[in-house]
Amino acid sequence: MLFLVAAALVAAIYSRSLHYPLTRDDTAHFADVARWQRPPAEWGEHFREEFWAKETRSGLYRPLTALTIQAQRWAAEQLPKAASEPDSFPLRLGNLALLAAAAAMAGWLASRLGVRRGGALAVAAIVAVHPLLAEDALEIVSRSETQAALGVLLSAGLLAGRSESISWSRGAAAGLAFLFALGSKEGAFAAFPALLIVAGGALRPAMALGAALLVALVGRVEVFGDLVGFDPAKTAFVDNPLIDAPLVTRALTGIAVLGRQLTQFVWPERLSVDWSYAAIVPLDSALDPFFAIGAVALLLGLGWLASSWRRSAHDAPGAGSERFGLLLAGGSWFLVSNIARPVGTVMGERLFTLPAIGIVIALAGWSTGWLARLRGRRVAGLVGLVAITAIAAAGVRACVRVADWRDGLTLYEAAAAVAPDSARVQATLAHLRFLRQQPKAAAEHARRAIELLPDYGKPHTTLANCLLEQGAVGPSLAHLWLAAHAPGASSDSTAELERARATVLKDARVRLEFIRFARDLAERHPASSLYLDLAVEAERVERGGS
């Protein structure tokens, strides 16, 4: 019943997205065609490589996510395909099935933890329709979030109940479900304490969960050489401006990010696929409204957890659901908060998947206990009406959000409307506009991105191409030079600069244009070593270098 309701809701909201093309991270992930054409005999390679299959210290070890993607692609290739069906169709269909399964599993777990039938149905419905989880459904690689959630919820559901009655077989099944979660997304590690609490301290399930944890850690060590597998030096400032920030700054900003995410959870109007620099900037003081929201939420959450713990000792209705949901939400948020250790990004809506599901389960438990104490049909009807209204409102917002994913341009235009100060959003729009042969609009977005982050290489490349089309060869060369020498510049940028420099600097007029423009840029950015180096390059060219 729960799965049928969840599947119907997911289909009603997301079915039109099945024909949308790949965008964002999917475009990059599936550019390696050979990797996704592996025959079944080679699928084990996913367990010996990081998620992006590159030589990098990303810390992303998600072999089971890669395996489900691989298996779906292979299965789709074995079946006849309609000419109008895009390659993304079977993969996105799999994403929707995972979301429906995770929603149903959340409802089932809530019922196992003492939530009434109506409350369990509401849990499944809100997880299925909440627009904060739209990214998990619409971006293929973000299925890692729903796969991890599915594994965690299944494991908890198998462990729920009287701890002394958990058999070895049920404990082993719970351990395998947890291992599925760990192999899908590293964020599932944060669910370990919540699962231990559900198990009630019983030895058998604790051993099974510990064995799953050990297997997952061994896999990470085999691939990365250590347990963490993440090198902060490999993360660009634009992706996470907290990467080199001190602990106090990370704590202030991390709590403020929690405030933002909770605001989105309650009122999901301002949704964006990108919250990097400078949509979010590091905080040096607590004078920020989102920090206040996050700090108050943490204090209330700790008090709520303590209260539920006391009531659980007396078998109060719904207290077990509250305790599990709060532990899951708090642990999952803290792991990606950047407080204890920086991660690859400062904020992402997909990162709030497990915390959001935990909050929903906790709220369902609280409402169950509250209604049990009041024992009034009129109050129960009012709570039901509020739940139905919230589910309907969330579903309408999710339907609107789906339209943003029609293609890459509409997706980032929607992001720019919400986070106009994101340098990466502006740089991506510049690139997309240029590909659509709109150089004037592309140049505007590129200049905005450079204004936000002068050392950002990607918009310099796009702006160089725009200027070249306008015949401004010297300024174009200056921006190519900045792109090739920006932090994290690729070898392609260096090669493009060398090709251009070898040809255009032979023209005296272009040389003079380059020298003047490079000096002007350096004067406008006197505090940037990158632009000072550009001025040095201009002097070298003026003396006769090339």
Cβ neighbours, 10 Å, residue 410: 15
> CA–CA separation, 124 vs 146, rounded Å?
13
Of 291-305, 495-509, 529-543, which has the strongest mean pLDDT?
Answer: 291-305
Average pLDDT over the chain reads 90
Question: Which residue type is seen at 152?
Answer: V
For residue 379, pLDDT beyond 80: no
pLDDT per residue as tens digits for the range 15-44: 999 999 999 989 888 888 788 888 899 999
**81 — pLDDT class (breaks 50, 70, 90):** low
**84 — pLDDT class (breaks 50, 70, 90):** very low
Comparison of pLDDT for 38 and 12, the residue scoring more? 12
What does the pLDDT read at residue 59?
85
Q: Using the CB atoms, write b or e for 327-345: b if 16+ within 10 Å.
A: bbbbbbbbbbbbbeebbbb
Q: Say which range, 118-132, 167-181, 306-320, has the weakest mean pLDDT.
A: 306-320
The architecture CATH gives domain 422-542: Alpha Horseshoe (1.25)
**315 — pLDDT class (breaks 50, 70, 90):** confident
What does the pLDDT read at residue 423?
96
Instruction: Give mean pLDDT, residues 395-416.
Output: 96
Comparison of pLDDT for 343 and 81, the residue scoring more? 343
What does the pLDDT read at residue 163?
61
Tokens of 533: 């180096």
What does the pLDDT read at residue 130?
97
pLDDT per residue as tens digits for the range 432-490: 999 999 999 999 999 999 999 999 999 999 999 999 888 888 899 999 999 999 988 87
For residue 395, pLDDT beyond 50: yes
CA distances from 203 to 172, 206, 405 (A): 12, 5, 47
* DSSP conformation class of 544: T
> CA–CA separation, 183 vs 66, rounded Å?
9
For residue 155, pLDDT beyond 60: yes
pLDDT per residue as tens digits for the range 102-116: 999 999 999 999 998
pLDDT per residue as tens digits for the range 232-266: 888 889 999 999 999 999 999 999 999 999 999 99
Q: Say which range, 119-128, 266-275, 517-526, has the weakest mean pLDDT.
A: 517-526
Three-state secondary structure string covering 468-514: HHCCCHHHHHHHHHHHHHCCCCCHHHHHHHHHHHHHHCCCHHHHHHH
Comparison of pLDDT for 88 and 161, the residue scoring more? 88
Residue written as token pair 């009406």: 385
**510 — pLDDT class (breaks 50, 70, 90):** confident
Three-state secondary structure string covering 245-271: CCHHHHHHHHHHHHHHHHHHHHCCCCC
What does the pLDDT read at residue 545?
57
Q: Where are the domains of the chain?
A: 2-403, 422-542
Instruction: Give mean pLDDT, residues 144-166.
Output: 89
For residue 304, pLDDT beyond 50: yes
> CA–CA separation, 29 vs 43, rounded Å?
16
Comparison of pLDDT for 164 and 310, the residue scoring more? 310
The verdict on whether omega for the bond into residue 177 sits within 30 degrees of 0, i.e. cis, is: no
Question: Which residue type is seen at 471?
Answer: G
**164 — pLDDT class (breaks 50, 70, 90):** low
Q: DSSP states of 392-430 as a string?
A: HHHHHHHHHHHHTTSSHHHHHHHHHHH-TT-HHHHHHHH
How many percent of the chain have pLDDT more than 90?
67
What does the pLDDT read at residue 368?
85
pLDDT per residue as tens digits for the range 173-200: 999 999 999 999 999 999 999 999 998 8
**428 — pLDDT class (breaks 50, 70, 90):** very high
Residue 228 near residue 59 (C-beta atoms within 8 A): yes
